[in-house]
Amino acid sequence: MNWFYARWGLIGGVALLLTILTYQDYHTRLSTVPLQTMPGSSSSSKLVRIQGMVKSGTLSGDVEGGQATFEFTEGPVTIPVVYQGPPPENLRELKVLVLVGHWDAQTNVFQAQDTALLNNYGYVAAAYGVSFLALVWMLFAMSQRVMVLFKEIKESKLYEPEVDSLAKKQ
């Protein structure tokens, strides 16, 4: 019985480790920084991701050539952005998207160098979470029941040991 629970503990531990690794990967690659934290922050060359909408009537420059300026807004906060990077396919006015770049505190402008699709990792987490929790719960409940049934049969007087000895001879 102890081995049974140790095995399930091991499975739980591996699942937890995988969840932590995935969360760290998500945090490194995909999480976005709130737009409110940008104005007033110090300059940093570290790339961050911000999510918001391109403000109507502010987009100018050579978008198809990969150079543009516009205002980026989320809620009450609006920041100026200078985009220089690969020609973005999803950059247009009133478009909600993710920008990858860094904040320049000297000019108070966000220097964007790439765009990305919206962060919708919550759907992925929900799909995997629901599936694996349900399957593992079902498997655990069934395995535990079988263990109890075997124990009950073997430990009670209902058990017929001659059957096992026959099986060994075969």
Partner 1 sequence: MINRFIRYIQRYKGWFGGGAALCLLIGLYTGLLASPPDYYQGEVVRIMYVHVPLAHTSLLAYSVLFGGSIWYLWKRDPLVDNMCQAAATITAMFTGLALVTGSIWAKPTWNTWWTWDPRLVSFAVLLLILAGYMMLRRLVDDPDREGKYAAVLAIVGGVDLPIIKFSVEWWRTLHQPMSFSTRGVSISDDLLVPLLFMSAGCWLLFAYMLMIRTQMLYLTELLQAKKGRLLSQTHFSQSAQ
The residue among 92, 58, 52, 56 whose CA lies nearest residue 73 is 52
Nearer to partner 1, 64 or 160 (CB): 160
Token output for 43: 């300059």
Burial profile 47-75: b = 16 or more Cβ within 10 angstroms, e = fewer? ebbbbbbbbeebbeeebeebebebbbbbe
Residue 80, token pair as written in the block: 């100026």
- Cβ closer to partner 1: 105 or 116? 116
Binding interface with partner 1 (CB under 8 A): 11, 14, 18, 21-22, 25, 30, 116-121, 123-124, 126-128, 130-131, 134-135, 138-139, 142-143, 145-146, 149-150, 152-153, 157-158, 160, 163, 167
For partner 1, the closer CB: 94 or 134: 134
Least distance (Å) from partner 1 to the CB of residue 146?
A: 5
